[in-house]
Amino acid sequence: MYNDLDRILITSDQIQQRIAQIANTLDNDYADKNPVIVCILKGSTLFFSDLVKNMKIPVVLDFISISSYGKATKSSGEVKMIKDLSESIENRHVIVVEDIVDSGYTISYLVRMLSSRNPASIKICSLLDKPSRRQVEVAPDYCGFEVEDYFVVGYGLDYDEKYRNLPEIGVLKPEVYSGK
Active-site residues, by number, are 102
69 binds ligand IMP (CB under 6 A): yes
75 interface partner picked from Mg ion, ligand IMP, none, CB below 5 to 8 A per type? ligand IMP
Give dist(CA 37, CA 51) in Å, integer. 10
**Residue 46 CB, nearest approach to Mg ion (Å):** 13
Crossing angle between the packed helical segments 45-54 and 12-29, to the nearest 10 degrees:
60
C-beta of 33 vs 134, nearer to ligand IMP: 134
Burial track 96-119 (b if 16+ CB lie within 10 A, e otherwise):
bbbbbbbbbbbbbbbbeebeeeeb
Segment contacting ligand IMP by CB under 6 A, of 31-39, 45-53, 92-100, 115-123: 92-100
One-letter-per-residue 3-state SS of 10-52 = ECHHHHHHHHHHHHHHHHHHCCCCCCEEEEEECCCHHHHHHHH
C-beta of 50 vs 102, nearer to ligand IMP: 102
- Which of 36, 92, 104, 144: binder of ligand IMP (CB under 6 A)? 104
Binding site for ligand IMP (CB under 6 A): 43, 68-69, 75, 98-107, 151-153, 157
Binding site for Mg ion (CB under 5 A): 43, 68
